Amino acid sequence: MKWIYDRYKEKAIVERMSSLKTLVVGANGQIGKHLVSFIQDSDGIEAKAMIRKQEQASFFENLGAETVLTDLENDDIDTITKAAEGVDAIVFTAGSGPHTGKDKTIMVDLDGAVKTIEAAKAAGVKRYVMVSSFDTTRQAIQDAPESFAPYVAAKHYADEWLKATDLDYTIVHPGGLTNDKGIGTVEAATEVDRGEIPREDVAKVLLETLKNDATIGKEFQIVTGTTPVEEAVKSV
């Protein structure tokens, strides 16, 4: 009977994947652009790119991806909820970066994240993948340099808000981000030694995370390593 169950489970996964439409929040960022490109090249998944300006749309339209104009900082939850209608998953790739002012950090990395989490709940979107910072523990906030601590704190509380929901969440904690070309191999685990990772490889991890329901309810760190991305994600 096990083979019947396995076939049924495999069929269910295929059917879910065949309708997996994903809203990429922060799509015009570097990770977001890579992710939309990878999604559009992947069978059974399609992207909906959330962008702030109409002039950003052509990049995504050339990939065959749908776009939706929404301002993460200034639009309310109802507006973001409308942007999330009709999707099966949300990936939050937006970020102010650690070198912007505290106000921008709060509005994007904390309030923006929380608004999309609440919008996911309101729109009935269960799957939510968060791109966080490498270490967002309370200790990391205390240990961070003064200029970096607000960013870590914002990420910490956004992560905690997500974990307190009943969403099918995954939190990905990338190491230091670079613009190097991705190599397709990473190290992924609950805790890894601090290191760097190309944004392109982060996007590859996000795609595999979307494909793998075993990542639901988990959070893990990623840096450049020697394990192929798909295998690394399966091991977390």
- Active-site residue set: 151
In sequence order, what are the residues at sequence separation of 6 or more whose Cβ sits closer than 8 angstroms to the Cβ of residue 32?
24, 25, 26, 49, 93, 94, 203
Type of residue found at 14: V
- Output phi, psi for 231, to 5 deg: -65, -40
Cα-based angle 49, 148, 172 (whole degrees, multiple of 5): 45
SS3 of residue 135 by DSSP: coil
SS3 of residue 22 by DSSP: strand
Cα-based angle 58, 53, 100 (whole degrees, multiple of 5): 120
194 near 212, Cβ under 8 Å? no
